[in-house]
Structure 1
Amino acid sequence: MAEPHRPQGARGAARPATHGPQTSNRAHHRAPTHPGAWWLWSLALGTAATRTTNPLLLALLITVSAYVVTARRPHTPWSRSYGAFVKLALAVLLVRLVFAVALGSPLPGTHTLVTLPEVPLPAWAQGIRLGGEVTAETLVFALYDGLKLATLLICVGAANALAGPTRLLKSLPGALYETGVAVVVALTFAPHLIADAQRLRAARRLRGRPDKGLRGLLQVGLPVLEGALERSVALAAAMDARGYGRTARVPRAVRRTTAALTLGGLLGVCAGTYGLLTAEGGTYGLPVLLAGLAAALAGLRLGGRRSPRTRYRPDTWNPRSCLVAASGAAVAALLALAASTDPAALHPGVVPLVAPTLPLWPAAAVLLGLLPAFVTPAPEESEEKPS
């Protein structure tokens, strides 16, 4: 029997087909930034902070990272970690100043601020001084040094606030699959343990039983550990049923090459990073770091052959992610160039005391770090991928 004709505007009319290119363009427009791009951007800003002691440039780096975090951090629990890193940075700066006042400094100075009572030390403690004169040069030097470390900590905090730990671990290469799963399990179980402990303490308070002290700790801790053990056994059974730990057969030559490349690459990364963080290794630091990164990535690429697994909706490096990483790399490279061409502007003098000035083109280079705040989607527009 023929189907009766329906008017075009009647209920149940056929919906227009969704065009594939339009849907893919919308998904591409809302694609979140790769977590690795945020980490590269933040670590590059931290590397730039190690190339200068100018407090104006360091304050500008902190302002840039804070603005990007405020504009682009997602509405998730881990995004609140930025405030904790800021407090940690302030504590580090305060401790550095206290040590400079209490222990003194071999730095000569002529502007004495206060004279503390000095504690005499034995002969074997030569070079250490407790108390004595506190000069303005000593405090300014400690302030510059502590502010550099505080800026580095704040940049790391920006990476923790912007990049989700679950998505970051999911983006690990196949060679680090087992490590990523172990960390994800640990991050998942820790909140469950805290929730179990709070639930058991609340139940004991409702029953009029003590929930504090050694007795309360034992009576609450044992059920929490028992629940964690049961959850671990259930997870192990589920992982075993899904074939976790299965590896592919790889020739022995490939395994040895993988081990050599990975180990050599990691040693090169450590040596290159040390060269970048010290003034003496500025010439060899960058080439050794790049060579180590290339060797380590090649080793991880070969090691991924032992893990024949696929990822559900993996994060991809879209153009926005590349721009985020490139902006941070540009800041680090330009400040490293400025430190070699005009060291006086990036390292203001302490003896004698010189008022720091803001160099123009290094400051403009730092402002390139604001690019992620304008090229990445807003938090309400980005769609978090399921883990």
Structure 2
Amino acid sequence: MRRNADRVRATPGALPVPVSAPTPRHRPRATTLHPGAWWLWSLSLGTAATRTTNPLLLTLLITTSAYVVATHRPNTPTARSYTAFLKLALAVLLIRLAFAVVLGSPIPGTHVIATLPEVPLPGWAQGIRIGGRVTAEGLLFALYDGLKLATLLICVGAANALANPSRLLKSLPGALYEMGVAVVVALTFAPNLIADVQRLRAARRLRGRPDKGVRGLLQVALPVLEGALERSVALAAAMDARGYGRTADVPAPVRRTTAALTLGGLLGVCAGTYGLLTAEGGTYGLPVLLAGLAAALAGLHLGGRRSPRTRYRPDRWDVRAWLVTGSGVAVAVLLTLASVRDPEALHPGVVPLVAPTLPLWPAAAVLLGLLPTFIAPKEPS
């Protein structure tokens, strides 16, 4: 009996031709998550970071965002910029501690770590000092404050790593398209700059040239700036070829209605927000805020008629996008409630010195931010 691998198709007067194996079907490409969902999730985690100074909760927020980024970021220059945000957050933390050491801290303390030489200042500089006592309470307060800002930067870096800014631009309404292009160009400048620096340093290492130190930095800076200028010129030419900035002819009544709705809606949002923040405006704050939002959205919808655009394969906002966004919003809302009900746990004191404790249900709320790990599709490389 002949084996399947030895079967041939015999044709009279012709050489035997092997029977080709059936071509495997290509698997359908996994749908990607809407980039707006990643941004809302990351900004919600950043909002939660602003509600606490507990270093344990802040570390848990950093770990949550870093784990999601490690499992779902694509292999793009924008995603590789997450390391730069980590370094920036570390630099911010160290600078905050250095300020506390050199300029002192407003927090009174009794545990003196060191005493630096104090520089005498004139009388008009009262309240400011350079040098002097360095206390453990002041350093701990600076550490908590700097860690909160560092966590916020890391959450923004997670959004920049997970969401493609170009895809996010497609989802903006037409009235905000020009502003969105400016934001996208600003967001993609730093990742492309970092990618250029890494590429040029690797090329210099292959050629046996120094790539570290001041000399290496100066020799890499000029090619990087030239590359940035070339990209800017290419971007300007591409935008001009695609008719960027050209508007359609819209009747004058529609333009006036759009301006009135947008301006009135923004004023309503400001008045409603002020009403919600004050005790006297608690009755009218929410209705005015909702009316202002509705008017502003209507103005944006009408304003989109001046910027007619077509979208190629627009991203869909599906159930997974709602779940990812909801997980981040749940973390922000629950930590906000915890900061109101139990402020001592989320804001540990430094006078007197006490060790921070991990509150259980706020920590469990932070873990809800890991939900995208299980439901969000991985971005194709």
| TM superposition score category, shorter chain reference | 0.7 to 0.9
Change (3 A) 1:313 1:226: closer
Gaps of 5+ in 2: 1-18, 208-214
Which residue number in structure 2 is paired with residue 5 of structure 1? none
Measured in 2, the distance between the counterparts of 1:225 and 1:363 equals 43
Identity level (%):
62
| In 2: Cα distance, 1:229 partner to 1:79 partner | 21
Match of 1:239 in 2: 242
CA contact (8 A) 2:265 2:293 kept: no
Within 5 Å, which residues of 2 pair with 1:64-75? 64-75=64-75
Map of 1:257 onto structure 2: 260
Counterpart check, 1:76 vs 2:76: yes
Amino acid at match of 2:98: V
Following superposition, the deviation at residue 80 of structure 1 comes to 0.8
Q: CA deviation at 1:184?
A: 5.8
* Residue correspondence of structure 1 range 365-376 to structure 2 within 5 A: 365-376=365-376
Do the aligned partners of 1:97 and 1:142 also contact (CA within 8 Å) in 2?
yes
Distance 1:267 1:248 in 2: 31
Trace 1:203-222 onto structure 2 (pairs within 5 A). Answer: none
- Counterpart CA distance in 1 for 2:151 and 2:232 is 41
Q: Match of 1:246, as an amino acid?
A: T
Q: Give the distance between the partners of 1:89 and 1:270, measured in 2 at CA.
A: 31
Distance 1:369 1:290, change over 3 A: farther
**For 1:225 and 1:332, how far apart are their aligned partners in 2?**
38
Equivalent position SS for 2:114: strand
The CA RMSD measured in Å over matched residues stands at 4.1
Query: d(CA) in 1 for partners of 2:75 and 2:228?
Result: 32
CA deviations 1:15-74 (Å, max 9, x no partner) are: 9xx9xxxx9xx66xx221111110000000000001001000000000000000001111
Per mean C-alpha deviation after superposition, the further-off stretch among 257-266 and 167-176 is 257-266
One-letter code of the match for 2:248? T
> Which residue does the alignment assign to 2:337?
337
SS at match of 1:116: strand
2:162 counterpart of 1:159: no
Q: In structure 2, the residue corresponding to 1:132 is in which secondary structure?
A: strand
Deviation at 1:132, TM superposition (A): 0.9
Letter in 2 for 1:258: L
Structure 1 partner of 2:346: 346
What are structure 1's unaligned runs of at least 5 residues? 1-10, 206-211
- SS of the aligned residue for 1:114 comes to strand
CA distance in 1, matches of 2:102, 2:333: 37
1:136 maps to a residue whose letter is: A
For the structure 1 residues 139 and 184, does the alpha-carbon distance in structure 2 shift closer, same or farther, using more than 3 Å as the test? closer
2: distance between equivalents of 1:233 and 1:131?
A: 51
Residue identity in the other structure for 1:78:
T
| DSSP-derived class of the 2:314 partner | coil
Q: State the shift of 1:263 in Å.
A: 3.8
Does the aligned pair in 1 maintain the 2:49–2:61 contact within 8 Å?
yes
* Letter aligned with residue 136 of structure 2: A
Structure 2 residue identity aligned to 1:256: A
Distance (Å, rounded) in 1 between the aligned partners of 2:145 and 2:304: 42
2:212 aligned partner: none
Aligned to 1:96: 96
Q: How do 1:1-387 residues align onto structure 2 when only pairs under 5 Å count?
A: 30-181=30-181, 231=234, 234-235=237-238, 238-240=241-243, 245-250=246-251, 251-261=254-264, 263-264=266-267, 267=270, 291=290, 296-379=296-379, 382=380
Cα pair distance change 1:348/1:331, threshold 3 Å: same
TM-score (norm 1): 0.73
Change (3 A) 1:235 1:41: closer
**Pair 1:230–1:322, CA change in 2 (3 A):** closer
Counterparts of 1:59 and 1:147 in 2: how far apart (Å)? Answer: 9
CA gap of 1:53–1:237, structure 2 versus 1, over 3 A, is closer
Whole-Å Cα distance in 2 between the matches of residues 369 and 232 of structure 1? Answer: 36
CA distance in 2, matches of 1:35, 1:365: 23
Contact 1:175 1:301 in 2 (8 A): yes
Which letter maps to 1:249? Answer: V
**Partner AA of 1:46 in structure 2:** G
Question: 1: CA distance between counterparts of 2:53 and 2:225?
Answer: 51
Q: Secondary structure at the match of 1:46?
A: helix
Distance in 2 separating the partners of 1:167 and 1:89: 26
The offset of 1:299, in angstroms, is 3.3
Give the Cα–Cα distance (whole angstroms) in 1 for the partners of residues 256 and 303 of structure 2.
12
Q: 1:101 & 1:288 partners in 2: Cα distance?
A: 49
Q: Figure out how many residues of one structure are paired with residues of the other and give that number.
A: 331
**Partner Cα separation in structure 2 for residue 175 and residue 160 of structure 1:** 23
The Cα of 1:234 is off from its aligned counterpart by: 4.8
Partner amino acid, structure 2, of 1:93: L
- Look up the equivalent residue of 1:125 and give its one-letter code: A
Other-structure match for 1:3? none
How far apart, CA to CA, are the structure 2 residues paired with 1:233 and 1:33?
Answer: 29
Shift of 1:295: 5.4
Distance 1:337 1:115, change over 3 A: same
TM-score, normalisation: structure 2: 0.74
Deviations, residues 286-313 of structure 1 (Å, cap 9, x unaligned): 9699757655444323322322332111
